[in-house]
């Protein structure tokens, strides 16, 4: 038996039959910033304020929820040993949600206040 010849591999970079060379990359021209410097400063201030509020809520929630299992593990339930698992599930699965609602309400009020301050500052400048 004769070995069949292996076809030659080809690298395809454009449609067959075209002879046009690929275009060189040209970056898009930079557009001028439409915001005046005072507004740009206020936008940065708003972003920082919103970030601070989000980090405060997230950090508070993380600390409180992360320490709950440790607290429930170290505080003995009526002196008979660790807290019963059902109580742990009830605290972690049910009692945490009012905390979520309080923190979410605080965050929404804070975010709206930040946006009102931003609007007031931009309209005043």
Does the pTM surpass 0.75? The reply is: no
Chain CA centroid to CA 8, Å: 50
pLDDT computed for residue 79 by the predictor: 52
Name the residue with higher pLDDT: 65 or 55.
Answer: 55
Residue 65 has pLDDT above 90, yes or no: no
Residues, the chain, total?
125
User: In 66-81, which positions are buried (b, 16+ CB within 10 angstroms) versus exposed (e)?
Assistant: eebeeebeeeeeeeee
* 67-112 residue pLDDT tens: 887 777 776 654 545 667 777 777 778 888 898 999 999 999 999 9
How far apart, in whole angstroms, are the C-alpha atoms of residue 47 and residue 38? 14
């Amino acid at each position: 038996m004769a070995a069949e010849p292996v076809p030659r591999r080809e690298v395809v970079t454009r449609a067959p039959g075209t002879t046009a060379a690929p275009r060189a990359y040209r970056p898009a021209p930079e557009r001028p910033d439409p915001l005046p410097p005072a507004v740009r400063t206020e936008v940065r201030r708003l972003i920082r304020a919103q970030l601070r509020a989000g980090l405060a809520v997230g950090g508070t929630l993380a600390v409180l929820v992360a320490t709950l299992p440790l607290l429930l593990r170290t505080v003995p339930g009526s002196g008979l040993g660790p807290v019963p698992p059902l109580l742990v599930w009830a605290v972690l699965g049910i009692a945490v949600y009012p905390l979520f609602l309080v923190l979410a309400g605080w965050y929404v009020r804070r975010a709206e206040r930040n946006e009102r301050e931003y609007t007031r500052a931009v309209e005043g400048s």
